Amino acid sequence: MTDLNSLKYTSEHEWIALDGDIATIGITSYAAAQLGDIVYLDLPAVGTQIAISSVVGEIESTKSVGELYAPLNGEIVETNDEAAAEPSLVNSEPFDGGWLIKVRVSGELPGDLLDHAAYQALVGEA
């Protein structure tokens, strides 16, 4: 189980786990619950350069279709093919098996990332 206190969060309900210059990115359990049953993921190709706030994919649920936004700058080094094949992993394991992309980070991390306590306060779970 991922230590939620070790993650960084965005106000758009994404989480980031850093390991050196590689960031694993997914959506939070709060976001997954708000979306409902996730039925489709469109993730970017490995090698794609991403920029903060750019659209990097799509997530479709029984309730809606939403876009995935890049929380940092970098290059896609891996996508979660297992989650793409079985999108419900994002609902059942949002912080573990349901991760979405891995990015080699370029430049500095955004200054507006939240720690776990601040994210909990944002979504009213503090």
Distance of CA 74 to the CA centre of its chain: 14
Residue 27 banded pLDDT, cuts 50, 70, 90: very high
- Position 2 pLDDT exceeds 90: no
* Per-residue pLDDT at 7: 97
With cut-offs at 50, 70 and 90, classify the pLDDT of residue 126: low
CATH architecture assignment, domain 4-109: Beta Barrel (2.40)
Q: State if pTM tops 0.75.
A: yes
* pLDDT tens for each residue of 86-112: 999 999 999 999 999 999 999 988 999
pLDDT digits (tens, 9 = 90+) for 73-88: 999 999 999 999 999 9
Average pLDDT (110-115) is 94
